[in-house]
Amino acid sequence: MDSWLNVKRNNSTVDNKKTPCTKKIKLTKFRKYDNNYLSMGFTCSGSEEEQKPQCVIRFEVLSNEALQPSKLERHLETKHKEHVTKTIDFFKNKEYELRKNMKCIKKSSTSYSNENAVKASFAVSLLIGKSGKPHTIAEDLILPAAKAMVSIMISKEVANNLNLISLSNDTIKKRIDSLSGNIKEQLLRRINECDYFSLQLDESTDITNKSILLCYVRYNYENTIFEDILFVTSVIHTTAEEIFIKINEFIILNEIEWTKCVGVSTDVTWHHCRIHREAIVSKKIPTKLKEVLDEAVKIANFIKAKSLNSRLFEQLCKDMDSEHYQLLLHSEIRWLSRGKVLSRLFELRHEVRLFFIEHKSSFTLSERLNDFSWLASLAYLSDIFAHLNLLNLSLQGSHVTIFKVENNIEAMIKKLELWNLRLSKKNYDSFQNHNNFLELTEEELSGEVFKNIKQ
């Protein structure tokens, strides 16, 4: 009896040992892709061992188990009904587009080498340096914004490659320092290769009471005149001797030849004397026109300087569907603002008149907006100051030489002579606001107003 039991136990033991062996040798079978599946809108993707069907229309990848004609046909009929009757040529074109897009994505994802990442880092650093923004903006704003745009426009995989670009605070500083050094080398090389150069100096005190000396250089290079900042340094006593020592140290240290220097401008006031003279001449206007100018400035400042009046006037302009909603505040320091202040007041004269009527203001100058002669003078002043503003701006900026300044002033004198000749014939075409106002009102100027304008 025991012998039979022992045999059974042994048999059971053997069976238990064989069971796991049979599980290990069980193989997983994968379905294979058939070229005929392309007529159902599917191409092959995945690895050689485990092929997967990929839809050529929506690029959706299915599992290996879906490699069955019935399942592929069901996918086409349920999700792409409009393409059921399409020929195989249509799906071949879709497959070609899919392969092409995959190559582009693969190329873009693999082309971001370390060299390109460094170039991108330098490009961003240059933009930050030009804008004067803090270096931390690269990591805090620029990189997240770039990744968000790329992930939406292209893909998240490509956007992740932007992480290769180093945009830390210290890195941006190093990049800007490197760019500055390279620019300085190029500038010094150009100055050493040029025929002549000139210097312009400007000393000023910043908000920390630190005296700063700026040196600009103008030089010729490859038949073109260039202007650049040569150097910036701090000075203590701001004497002529100390300023010369600073300049001479820079010239000698960088091996620049003094013999090529043909001019040094040390007095900015003298250098811009023509601009200041033009500004002073613009104040020499007839007494009556000066009164109109002062009254117009007072009217604009009465509304603009008070926050309540400014808000009420803005709402009034919005209700009247005006192009502009605010007057401009005039400051005597920024004298160029006169032209814009007068033009805006003349443009919104109806709104200003209605503002004083609705709020029953006791402002003494409100009646001026009903005076034809006063409005005609205001229109003329807005035009003439606009012309003077354009002249003044043409005398400033980089690459403006004394010859250009002289030509612009002489041209303005010729224009004034021509305009005066036209005014004598009562031709106001050169003054747009004034001419439009007279055509709109169909009234004639009084002799006194005409005399003031012609002066």
pLDDT tens, residue by residue, 265-294: 876 555 555 555 555 655 677 888 888 888
State yes or no: pLDDT of 25 exceeds 50: no
Most confident of 31-35, 362-366, 409-413: 409-413
State yes or no: pLDDT of 399 exceeds 90: no
DSSP SS3 for 335? coil
The one-letter amino acid code at 415 reads: K
Mean pLDDT of 331-359: 79
Q: Which of 66, 67, 42, 40 minimizes the C-alpha distance to 55?
A: 42
Mean pLDDT of 358-365: 76
Q: Tokens for 235?
A: 């000075």
d(CA 379, CA 371): 12
Higher-scoring residue by pLDDT: 217, 396: 217
The one-letter amino acid code at 270 reads: W
pLDDT tens, 54-72?
888 877 888 888 888 888 8
DSSP β-ladder status, 261-265 and 224-235: unpaired
Mean pLDDT of 325-352: 78
d(CA 412, CA 339): 17
Radius of gyration of the chain (CA): 40
d(CA 426, CA 431): 11
Mean pLDDT of 166-190: 92
pLDDT of residue 14: 42
**Confidence band for 331, pLDDT divided at 50, 70 and 90:** low
Q: Where are the alpha helices (DSSP H) in 25-155?
A: 69-79, 88-110, 114-131, 137, 143-153
Question: How far from each other are the two terminal CA atoms of the chain, in whole angstroms?
Answer: 143
Mean pLDDT of 301-316: 86
Q: Do the Cβ atoms of 152 and 101 come closer than 8 Å?
A: no
Write out the H or E segment, with its range, that includes residue 437.
helix 432-441
pLDDT, averaged across the chain? 81
pLDDT of residue 93: 85
Higher-scoring residue by pLDDT: 445, 435: 435
Q: What DSSP character marks residue 266?
A: -
State yes or no: pLDDT of 373 exceeds 90: no
Close Cβ partners of 380 (under 8 Å, ≥ 6 residues apart): 289, 431, 433, 434, 453
* Percent of residues, the chain, with pLDDT higher than 90: 17
DSSP SS3 for 426? coil
Across 21-35, 147-161, 348-362, 417-431, least confident range: 21-35
State yes or no: pLDDT of 4 exceeds 50: no
Q: Tokens for 186?
A: 């190029």
State yes or no: pLDDT of 333 exceeds 60: no
Q: 213-243 burial by CB neighbour count: b if 16+ within 10 A, else e?
A: bebbbbbeeeeeebeeebbeeeeeeeeeeeb
State yes or no: pLDDT of 81 exceeds 90: no
d(CA 355, CA 338): 22
Q: Which of 390, 378, 371 minimizes the C-alpha distance to 436?
A: 378
Mean pLDDT of 77-103: 83
d(CA 282, CA 290): 11
Torsion angles phi and psi, residue 68, rounded to 5: -135, 135
State yes or no: pLDDT of 222 exceeds 70: yes
DSSP SS3 for 162? helix
Q: Tokens for 413?
A: 């004198």
d(CA 297, CA 295): 5
Mean pLDDT of 118-126: 92
State yes or no: pLDDT of 323 exceeds 60: yes
Q: Tokens for 65?
A: 């188990």
Mean pLDDT of 316-343: 77
**Confidence band for 370, pLDDT divided at 50, 70 and 90:** confident
d(CA 20, CA 454): 114
DSSP SS3 for 206? coil
pLDDT of residue 110: 52
Polymer length of the chain: 455
pLDDT of residue 2: 46
Torsion angles phi and psi, residue 228, rounded to 5: -145, 160
Q: Tokens for 343?
A: 């033009």
pLDDT of residue 8: 45
Close Cβ partners of 354 (under 8 Å, ≥ 6 residues apart): 316, 320
Describe the crossing of helices 114-131 and 169-193 by its angle, rounded to 10 degrees: 80
State yes or no: pLDDT of 24 exceeds 70: no
pLDDT of residue 48: 76
State yes or no: pLDDT of 155 exceeds 90: no
Q: Do the Cβ atoms of 340 and 393 come closer than 8 Å?
A: no
